[in-house]
Amino acid sequence: MSRTGLAKLLRANAHHGAIPKFKRNLLLREFIPSAGCSAHTMGCAALDYMVFGDAFFYRHPNAFGECLELEHLPAINMRVKVDGGYRMLQADNQFIDFDQDEIAHVMDYDVEQTIYGIPDYLGGLQALLLNEAATLFRRRYYSNGAHAGYIFYTNDPDLTEEDENNLREQISASKGVGNFRSMFVNIPNGKENAIQIIPVGDFQAKDELEKVKNITRNDVIAAWRMNPALAGIIPENSAGFGDIEKIDRVYTSNEIRPICQLFDQVNKILREDRRFAWKAETKLE
């Protein structure tokens, strides 16, 4: 999977872009920073984990080899070397190599390989792309200005050429970016069915934009294992989603605290007096 591609997809859909940061914020709510790992460092690493499935820390040692501080390294640029160690890609085809013991690599286990972590939402990418395509189609439909808003039809045989030109000018004056294009037609002594409008593609009825958006939205949320109440979804029934505080507690317990446990492995790398902590109710020990 292209890490650059995964990063760009965060801007393809409102929910897909917001959910990883929301989960990062929930993790930071449980996090107690220390001299060895700041909230900023953990926040950046946690967001990398949500998006790419792994996170990287550089170990800052002292003269005795003890790790005093963890520095976040952007996962989008990190690569695992075939002969051991890590490489961080730089601009202009430059790179920085690290030894194996210089980097702490937090990754979600993947059943197909043990080199990189894999995010869980990959199964929802097709729904995500369909959701983006539906939105782009709607925008282009309204902004292209090439379709007719209405047809001004007359069958007056006494309509003068001057009056006809004036009507055309008035109708043309409504044209502009994002406006519908309208048409004036005059057929002297025309019959009732002289003009028939045969729709080629009805935007609302044929494409069913609302259904496509709702179905793909639900797939994206399911791929993230996010509760709809926490994802900003408006309930479609009067009962709503229930007690939001209970939903938050259950979701934090089932989804966020296990991720905290994965990150707690780097805590043991730090010297004991510089280790971070988690809130008491997280109970990682």
Q: Considering the domain boundaries, does residue 259 fall inside one?
A: yes
Q: What 3-state class would DSSP assign to 9?
A: helix
Apex CA 263: angle with CA 50 and CA 17, to 5°?
Answer: 15
Does residue 177 share a domain with residue 106?
no
Residue 179 CB neighbours (<10 A) = 12
Whole-structure pTM over 0.85, yes or no?
A: no
Does one domain contain both 114 and 245? yes
In a domain, 224, yes or no: no
Kindly state whether residue 233 falls inside one of the protein's structural domains.
no
The DSSP secondary-structure symbol of 178 reads T
170 and 104 part of one domain: no
Largest CA distance in the chain: 102
- Tell whether 105 and 30 lie within a shared domain: yes
Report the number of distinct structural domains present in the chain. Answer: 2
Residuewise pLDDT in 10s, the chain (285 residues): 899 999 999 999 889 999 999 999 999 999 999 999 999 999 999 999 999 999 999 999 999 989 999 999 999 999 999 999 999 999 888 999 999 999 999 999 899 999 999 998 999 999 999 999 988 888 877 776 555 566 666 776 777 788 778 777 776 665 555 455 666 677 777 676 655 555 545 555 455 788 888 899 999 999 999 998 888 887 777 667 788 899 999 999 999 999 999 999 999 999 999 999 999 765 554
- H or E segment at 97? strand 95-98
To the nearest 10°, report the CA torsion of 154, 157, 159, 160.
140
Residues 85 and 168 in one domain: no
Asked whether the CA dihedral 111, 116, 120, 125 is positive or negative, the reply is: negative
Q: Is residue 221 in a domain?
A: no
Does residue 73 fall inside a structural domain?
Answer: yes
Residue for token pair 């009732």: 192
- Considering the domain architecture, whether residues 13 and 49 belong to the same structural domain is answered as yes
**Are 75 and 152 part of one and the same domain?**
no
- What's the domain range around 152? 145-206
Residue 132 placed within a domain = no
Q: Are 89 and 95 in contact (CB under 8 A)?
A: yes
Q: Are residues 93 and 151 in the same domain?
A: no
DSSP 256: I
- Beta strands 277-278 and 148-154: pairing type? unpaired
Residue 81 counted as domain residue: yes
| Nearest residue to 126 (alpha-carbon basis) of 261, 18, 225, 219 | 219
CB atoms within 10 A of CB 73: 22
Strand pairing category for 181-186 and 148-154: parallel
Written as one string, the DSSP assignment of 184-245 is EEE-TT--TTSS----S--HHHHH-HHHHHHHHHHHHHHHTT--TTTTTPPPSSTTTT--HH
| Residue ranges of E strands in 16-75 | 31-32, 54-61, 67-73
Is the domain of 105 the same as that of 159? no
Whether the CB-CB separation of 2 and 9 falls below 8 Å is answered with no
The answer as to whether 227 is a domain residue is: no
Residue 180 has what DSSP assignment? P
Residues 48 and 84 in one domain: yes
| Contact by Cβ (8 Å): 115, 80 | yes
Are residues 13 and 111 located together in one domain of the fold? yes
